[in-house]
Every structure is written in structure tokens, then in C-alpha cells.
Amino acid sequence: MGNRLVIPSLLFVIHCLLLLISPSASSSLCQNDQSLILLQFKQSLIVSTPPMAMDACAYNSYDSQKSYPRTFSWNSSIDCCLWDGVTCDESTGQVIELDLSCSQLYGTIDSNSILFRLSYLKKLNLAGNDLSGSFSSLHKFGNFSYLTHLNLSSSYFYGQIPMEILRLPNLYSLDLSKLSEVILEPPSFKFLLQNSTQIREIVLDEIPLYSTMPKNLSFHITTLSLSQTVSDTGLRGSLPSSIFHLPNLRKLDLNFNFDLTVDIQNSRWNSSSSLTYLDLGYTTCPPNIIESIANLSRLQYLGLASCGLSNEVSETIINLEQLTGLDLSDNYLEGKFSDLSFIKLWRLKKLYLYNNNITGNFPSSITNITQLQVLSVPENSLYGTLPSSLFSNLSTLYILNLGENRFHGPIPPSLFKNKNLFVLDLSSNNFSGTIDVSVLSYLQRLMELELSNNCISLVSNTKTNNATTWSPNLNFLGLSSCNLKTLSFLRDSKYLVSVDLSNNKIQGRIPEWVWSNRQLMDLNLSHNYLTSGVEGIQLLSLHTIDLRFNLVEGPLPVLLGPLGIFLASQNKFSGEIPLTFCNLKYISFLDLGNNNLSGTIPQCLGNASKYLEVLDMHNNEFGGFIPLTFSAGNQLQTLNVRGNKLEGKIPLSLVNCINLEVLDLGNNYFNDILPQWLLKLPKLQVLSLRSNNFHGTLATSITKSISSQLKIIDLSHNEFTGHLPMELFQSLTAMKNTDGEVGKARSYFGQRTYYKDSLVLVVKGSQRNFERILTVFTTIDLSSNKFEGNIPGAIGQLHSLRGLNLSHNMLCGSIPHSLRNLSLLESLDLSSNQLVGEIPNELESITFLSVFNLSHNHLTGCIPTGNQFNTFENDSYVGNDGLHGYPVTKGCGNNGVSSQPPTLQMLPQEHNESILDGFTWKAVLFGYGCGIAFGLIVGSLMLLTQKPYWFTRIVEEEGYKIMMKARRKKSKGILGNFSLIKEFTSNSFKELIYVLDYWIV
């Protein structure tokens, strides 16, 4: 009987437990209609693995979840409330939450989508998918009357955000961030921040706003995140002071709103503020920004990047002891790390201090921060070695960036044992030693590795390499200048997105497996010794290929797909350009210079891509005409076909290239006049037509209203004729301004990440090949033509001109005195013309002049002396029979006395002197200045002592000065020279006494 009672009791208990731990059959199971809606929604989309660069969840996955297809678990045989990403109401079985973020979904959601039948949804998250729908068709969002949380970030929606979303009655949190192609009109933006009664969290990061911050924001707001990445799309005007008084505001992120002014001169947050997250980086901050945040004792994250902070880190910041994140990058902070800061800020998890001037050794006190996750201090002046024990104590680090400092010594092996690292950047330091790539296999979570530009040698042991397993998450790899000799260690790295192996010693053939990686987008193998491995390949996924400065032979590869940058200059490619290049719709940089390519340039290249900025084919064997056609609206900035065999005329379609900055057609066989429209291209800065068959005159109609940006003009070695029009030089506005020239930071024409403009110029008398060109270098080269007439005085207005070459023409008249205004001129060549008259003495004021050539003209008179003129050799004046003075041997004046005393080389050697050499012109000169008797005495002493050089030099110099003054005063006789005798004795008495004393001894 007892046993009979026990069994039913156990069954009852078990049944009750099952009811407690499992959904109720009557109330919690998914409704049939809900399951069907979800399955149809699943079928309307495609699960696709997107390219890594397009996957919003692929990068920075240490801060967000990893991308994976959640809908794979959806199956009609399982209760839909148990499906991944689905949450049901416990009592009704209605789907109330749908989280499909980062689910690799691809497709379109429009107004007919079955998704809108889930009318009981409270939370909807579709972030990180490629849904590419237009917001204009999403007015049915109004059906979600219960919706409290909506997240569509990074989902590729576009168009104007409908008011149906902004008016959802129960909306609490709205995240539309990273939708760069959406439109949020200022009235809608104002409505969202002011009139919404329920909304608390507003996240609109990277959405173009083009608006001012409205006043009197809703006091309900707890999160306001409006950060930007593009400089001209953010907020404008001033930040209203009312924002400092929002009682519930916990997070305020205005990062990268460059045009927003944070006006808090008379405002500051009070101590009762709820603010825990504040980022005002890259806004216009006031000088008292630190004072205004002094009372924010609850602050956990502070971002003041590029806010003009200077000196050491403020004590106010150090006293914010609740901080877990601090970003003070891009400021003017200096001094050493303060140990106090790492003692007080022991809660820090993220520290960003890049691009300051912080110095000193790596602080050991940083180990006090036991939970540190991010340490980013690149572009500072830190030095010393890294202690091995340091990284053993910082095991929580997942980002370590010490790039562009001055660290040296070996990289601690303990660093490579930190299994939590996602990002490791030690580039551009002085680290040394040898590292076996096998040690990197320990970093199995690593996504980014940068060891470039150090003194390390990365070696790959064959036996060890076979066992090396790279991190499956490794996307970005930078090993430039690491003395690598092989690529084999990367064979199994199938998930790399960007690889930089430039400036190494890699030889031979590029392996086929390099090209088979469908994830790879950026590949830099430049400056190696590669010889082959591109023939016959078809590149489908790569965006950037850099093969410059190798030894690659054979035909160019077949380029397809989304390729945007192809750099292959300085190789041995041969043959013609494949017509497949015409299909490069996204190409922006195409550099094929310095190869052995031949044939004609395909006409299609001009319009192959609307993004084309650089087309460089210099120093090849291309022939024929330039058939390129450039349509209106093109983006071309550089066209370089120098050093080929091209002929014909300049393509008329270049008139459409209104963005053209550099045009180099030099060293070809072009036969054309100078088109009037060419010089009027509004952004043209560099024009080189040297060594062609251009002809005609530079008429006023051509040179008037030319580009105000022109800084370099090279028309040398052509057949131009006629006069040099004054209007040409009057219009060169960019050559007139010298403001900021001195002390200006170095910049170069076409200073782009992937490409630098090059040019061949004659500078200071020698032809040079400039691999990059300083923007301050302004020059005019019109040499070796048939120009005639006078040199226009308007050249003197070009105050920033560095080089002027008008040689080998038929110019006549005198040298303009206005050239004295060219204070920065370094090279002046007027040789081989028909110039007459004297050399203007005013040219002495050009103190930077290092090359000066007036040879083979008809100049007369005395050569100026002083400053740079004392450094020029006879070659600067040869062929001008009428010139006198140093360094020309013919005397300057009627008395035949040389304008410069003889140098040591002009004096006869001691062993060749005769006994009568003592009575030379030197003794006579002394007689002229001091009297016959004194001259004879000194001459006799010189005879007895065999005329030591150092004494002779004194006599020569002082006598020369007296003689020149006598000539200028036109004094006669010994009485007329009395003042000169007095001057001579006062200036040289001590020297002569010293000499006589030496002889007597």
C-alpha cells in the first residue's frame, strides 16, 4: 500500500518540475502563424558570406559579436520560440523579439515584406546585414506599434528616413548608425530630439546630418551618439548650453563633428550630473574644457582627442578615478608618463594617447592597471626597451599599439604568448633581433599584426613552418622591411584581407596560392626581387596590388573584378596592354611606368573608370597617337606619358579634365601648338612638354588667364618662337606668394597614400629625375627654343620662384633689374642668348643663388662682387669678352690691375723663383701706397726671405685695398695718398711688426 502511494507522488512531483522548467503547452509554444511568417521571411533572404571588407561584423569583433548565420537553426520541426534570435511572449506565444544581427543575410526588405506581420514585436535588430533596401518603402514600420528597440545599423538601408519610424509611440531605443547613404532632414532631426516623448537612446553615428544641434532637447534622453567619420557631414554651429543640464543624460558622443563648437565658457556640468560617457573629440573645444568637466565624478569614458590640450596630463583628468576609458590623442601633450596617473586610474581598460609628444621609458607602473584591454600610444617619443615581465602582468590586453616611437632592443618573447591579443602594432621603431614566424602561432585570436619598419629579421624554419597554424581571424598583416626571403609561411593563411610584405628580400616567382585567396583585398609586394608569377592569372577579389620595384617579366596580368589600384612600375613587363583593362570600372590608380610595354595605349582607358585619378605610363615604348578620351565629370588628377614614342597632338578631350594637377608629356614626338585651353585648366600645377616638337608662339591669348595654380612649367627643347609675353608671368599667381615658405612642413605634389608624382627637370644645370616633387619647388624652364626679344621685367614679380632657365634662345636686351626681387631663386641660367649691357649689381641680394650661368652672351662691364658672386667660377661668364673682374682673368678697369689678388695657385712655386723675383709688382704696389723708399725696404726684405706666402698674402690684400680706394678717389702723388698711408699703417701695423719681429729672430 505504501509503495502504491509513493509512485503516484513521485510522478506528480516530476510532472510539476517539468511544468516549471519547460514551456507550457498551452501558453508558451510558438503560434503557427508566427512560425510560418518567420520561415517565409527566411526564404525571402539569402545567407551569403560577404567579402571581409563588406562584413560590418568582421572587423573589430573584439567589441562586437562574430558574424554567423542565425537562421540556420530555423526548422519547422522545432518550436520557433527556441530558434536562434527569436524570443516569444511567455503567455501568448507571439514573437516579441527578433535579433538577426550579423547573420550574413543578403536581400531586400520592402513594404511587401512579410516581416511587418509580426505586429507584436518589441525589439528588432537587423544590424550588420546587407539588406540594401530603400527607407522610402518602409512606411509600414508604423505597424510596429509595440516596438521599443530598433537597430538597423550597418544594414545598407538608404534614402530618407520615414517619419513612421520617428513617430513610433513606444520607441525607447533607436540605432540607425553607419548608414552613410540615408537622409535625415533637419526638421526630422529636430523632431527626434525635441518632440519624441518616449525615446531615450538615440544612436545616429556616421549618418550625414548637415544640421545644427536643436535647443531644448527632450529631458528623457539618456544616450545621444552622433559621431562622424567624414569631416563635412556632421553638426554645425554651437552646442547649446541646455545640454549641460539634461538630468538623465548618461552618454554624449559628438566625436568627429569638426564644424561643431563646444561653447561652454560660462557653463559646466554640475556634480549631480549622471554623465558616464563623454566624447568631444575633434570638435572645436574651448581652452577651459578641462575645468568644465572637473565635477563629472561618475565619468567612465572621456574623449578629448584633438582638443588642443598641451603640457602634461591635467590633474583634473587623473582625479576622475572612475574612468575606464580615456582618449587624449592628437593633442600637444608632452613630458613623461606620470606614475601617479597609473595609480589613480587603476580602473582603466582603454587608453588612447597616439600622436602626442610623450617621452620617456615605458612605465613599469602601468602594471597597476590590472584590467587594461587597450593601450594605444603610437606616434610619440617613447624610447628604451620593453621589459619581458611587463606583458606577463597585462594578460587582459587585446589591443597593443606602440608604433612610431623610438623603442629598441628585442621584442620580449612573453608578448607573443598573450593569447588575448587582437591587435599588435610595433611598427616603425628600432626593435632588433631575429623572430621565427612559428611563435606567432600562439596568437590565435590575432586580427592585426604590424611589425613593419624595424630592424628585425623574420625567419621561417621549414620544419617549424609546416606546423605553424596562423590565427583564423588574422585579417591585416604588415611585415614590411623584415628581411623576409620567402612567402611560404603564409600558405595556410586563408582569411587575410590586407598584406604588406614590401621592402624585403623575397625572390623568384609569386606562388599561385597568393592569388587564390578570395578574401585578400590589398597586397603590397613592392621593393623585392620577384621575377614572375602574374602571367595568366585572373584577379577577382583584389582591390589593391602593388608590385613596384621588382623584376617581374612577361605580359601584364588579366585584371578583373573590383580592382581599384594597380601599381606595377619599375619592372620588366613587356607586350601590349590587355583589353581587359577596359573593364576596370573601379580603377583609381594605374601606374605602369618604367617597363618595356609597347603598342598603342587603348582608347578605352580614359573612360574605363569614373574614379580614375592617376594614369602613369612613363618610360615605356608606347607609340602612335594618344587616342584617350576623357568625358566630362572625370576625376583625373595626373597624366604621365613621359619618355615614350607618342606623336600627334594633345588630346582635345583633356579639356574635360578640370581636376588635372600634373600633366607630363615630355620626351615624346608630339607635334602641336600650345592649346589655349590647356593652360586654363583650373587646378593645373605641373606642366611638362619638354623635348617634343611643339611650335608656334606664346601669344597673349594663350597666356592670359592661365591657371592660378601653376608652379612648374617646362617647355624646354621645343620649337617655340616669338617674344615672351609679359602676361605669362603676370598670371602665375602661385609663384608670387612666399607666405609660409620658411619653416613650412614638407609636402609633395600628389601626396597620396599609394602614389607620388614624379618629374624630369633640369635643376641647377643638371637633369634630374624627381621621384617626388616638393610643392614649394617652383620653376620655369623655357630653354632650347627660339624665343626672341627682351626678358620681361614681370618675372621679378614671381617671388617664390626657385629655378629660371631661359638659356639657348635668341633673347636680347639687358638683364632686368627686377630679378633682384627673386629672393628665393636658387638657379638662374640665361646662357647662350644675345644679352647685352652690364650684370645688375642688385643681383647680389639673391643669397640662395647656387647656380648662375650667363655664358655666351654679349655682356660687358665689371662682374659684381659679394655674397654668392664670390662663389661662381669662370664657366658662369665664358663667352662674354666685355666682362671684367673676378673670376675673369682680364682686369676690371683701365689700369690693368686685376680685380682680385692672385691666389696661392697663381703664385710661382718656391723652387722656381729667381733672385730677382723679390722686385716684382708687389714692391712697386707698396711704393705706390707708402712711398718709394719704404717699398724698396719691404721689397728687399722679401728678396732676402724668399718671400714667404703668408707675408705675401698680407701685402697683396692690404695693397689691393689701398690701390682700389686710390682709384675711386682719383688721388695723385704721395701727398694725395697720405690718408691711405695712414689707413694702411693703422690697419696693418701690428701685422707688419709681427712679420719684422719674425725675420729678426
CB 725 within 8 A of CB 698: yes
What secondary structure, in 3-state letters, does 924-979 show?
A: HHHHHHHCHHHHHHHHHHHHHCCCCHHHHHHHHHHHHHHHHHHHHHCCCHHHHCHH
- Answer yes or no: is 225 within a domain: no
State the chain's maximal CA–CA distance in angstroms. Answer: 161
- Residue 434: pLDDT above 80? yes
CB 359 within 8 A of CB 383: yes
**Do 592 and 539 have their domain in common?**
yes
pLDDT in tens, 48-82: 765 444 455 654 455 555 678 999 989 988 999 99
Three-state DSSP state, 463: helix
DSSP 203-267: E-TT----SBPPSS--TT--EEE---SSTTSS-BEE--GGGGG-TT--EEE-TT-TTEE---TT-
* CA R_g for the chain: 40
**Do 776 and 820 have their domain in common?**
yes
- The vertex-154 CA angle with 148 and 157, nearest 5°, equals 80
- Residue 565: pLDDT above 50? yes
918: pLDDT confidence band, cut at 50, 70 and 90? very low
> In CATH, what number is assigned to the domain containing residue 826?
3.80.10.10
What is the pLDDT at residue 61? 52
Weakest-pLDDT range from 340-344, 660-664, 760-764: 760-764
**Do 867 and 750 have their domain in common?**
yes
How much is the average pLDDT of 10-20?
A: 43
What is the pLDDT at residue 894? 45
Distance CA 24, CA 694 (A): 91
Distance CA 684, CA 432 (A): 45
What is the pLDDT at residue 892? 66
Q: Hey, what amino acid is at 921?
A: W
How much is the average pLDDT of 927-948?
A: 42
Q: Which three cell numbers stand for residue 725?
A: 609675353
CB 512 within 8 A of CB 487: no
| pLDDT top residue among 225 and 61 | 225
- Answer yes or no: is 933 within a domain: yes
* Percent of the chain clearing pLDDT 90 (strictly above): 47
Of the candidates 110, 174, 117, the residue with the CA atom closest to the CA atom of residue 148? 174
Last residue of a domain, one of 660, 684, 713: 660
Weakest-pLDDT range from 29-33, 461-465, 755-759: 461-465
Last residue of a domain, one of 900, 924, 955: 900
Of the candidates 126, 191, 128, the residue with the CA atom closest to the CA atom of residue 165? 191
**Do 645 and 783 have their domain in common?**
no
**Do 888 and 923 have their domain in common?**
no
**Do 650 and 724 have their domain in common?**
no
- Answer yes or no: is 632 within a domain: yes
- Residue 168: pLDDT above 50? yes
Domain count, the chain: 3
**Do 635 and 685 have their domain in common?**
no
What is the pLDDT at residue 890? 55
**Do 818 and 953 have their domain in common?**
no
**Do 804 and 920 have their domain in common?**
no
What is the pLDDT at residue 891? 57
What residues contact 14, with CB distance under 8 A and at least 6 apart? none
Three-state DSSP state, 140: helix
- Residue 30: pLDDT above 80? yes
- Answer yes or no: is 373 within a domain: no
Q: What is the mean pLDDT of the chain?
A: 81
Distance CA 316, CA 310 (A): 14
What residues contact 660, with CB distance under 8 A and at least 6 apart? 636, 637, 638, 639, 654, 681, 683, 684
Distance CA 582, CA 596 (A): 20
pLDDT in tens, 760-811: 766 666 666 666 666 667 899 999 999 999 999 999 999 999 999 999 999 9
Q: In this structure, what DSSP letter does residue 572 have?
A: E
- Answer yes or no: is 425 within a domain: no
CB 282 within 8 A of CB 306: yes
- Residue 140's Cβ-count burial label (10 Å; 0-12, 13-18, 19+) is middle
Of the candidates 550, 555, 542, 481, the residue with the CA atom closest to the CA atom of residue 514? 542
What is the pLDDT at residue 960? 42
pLDDT in tens, 879-907: 998 898 888 865 565 444 444 443 333 33
Last residue of a domain, one of 850, 874, 900: 900
Domain span at residue 628 reads 506-660
**Do 532 and 649 have their domain in common?**
yes
Q: Which three cell numbers stand for residue 214?
A: 536643436
What is the pLDDT at residue 64? 52
What is the pLDDT at residue 995? 39
**Do 752 and 792 have their domain in common?**
yes
344: pLDDT confidence band, cut at 50, 70 and 90? confident
Task: Spell out a b/e string for 605-624, using b for 16 or more CB atoms within 10 Å of the CB, else e.
Answer: bbebbeebbbbbbbbbebee
pLDDT in tens, 818-862: 999 999 999 999 999 999 999 999 998 888 898 999 999 999 999
980: pLDDT confidence band, cut at 50, 70 and 90? very low
Size of the chain in residues: 1001
How much is the average pLDDT of 257-270?
A: 78
- Answer yes or no: is 266 within a domain: no
- Residue 629: pLDDT above 60? yes
Most confident of 160-169, 697-706, 992-1001: 160-169
What is the pLDDT at residue 893? 53
- Residue 910: pLDDT above 90? no
What is the pLDDT at residue 954? 44
**Do 546 and 579 have their domain in common?**
yes
pLDDT in tens, 746-757: 565 655 666 776
- Answer yes or no: is 800 within a domain: yes
Of the candidates 519, 528, 472, 471, the residue with the CA atom closest to the CA atom of residue 499? 519
CB 224 within 8 A of CB 202: yes
- Answer yes or no: is 265 within a domain: no
